[in-house]
């Protein structure tokens, strides 16, 4: 599965009341989801493919291929 970057948005964290940047993605199945942009910057590789567990899958096991490739970031 793949998910294409759409845009970055700013929301207010309900706990800290601070601004948080979210990266919005369009999933190949038609759904949309957002990730904290700092997660993308700090955890995912700068080069090469970026995979995350598929947020629309009941299974979250890389070995069963329940991951999504982030594109356009």
* pLDDT at residue 48 in the model: 79
* For the chain, domain boundaries: 2-71
Q: What is the pLDDT of residue 70?
A: 92
Asked if the model's pLDDT at residue 69 lies above 80, the reply is yes
Residue 63: pLDDT band with limits 50, 70, 90: low
Better-scored residue on pLDDT, 22 or 73: 22
d(C-alpha 36, C-alpha 24), whole Å: 9
Render pLDDT for 13-62 as a digit per residue (tens, 0 to 9). Answer: 999 999 999 999 999 999 999 999 998 888 777 777 888 888 988 765 55
Between the alpha carbon of residue 19 and those of residues 9, 23, 39, the distances in Å are 10, 13, 15
């Amino acid at each position: 599965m793949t998910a294409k970057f759409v845009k970055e948005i700013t929301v207010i964290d309900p706990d800290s009341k601070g601004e948080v940047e979210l990266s919005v993605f369009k999933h190949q199945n038609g759904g949309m989801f957002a990730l904290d942009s700092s997660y993308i910057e700090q955890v995912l590789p700068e080069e090469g493919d970026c995979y995350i567990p598929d947020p629309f899958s009941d299974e979250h096991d890389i070995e069963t291929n329940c991951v999504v490739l982030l594109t356009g970031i």
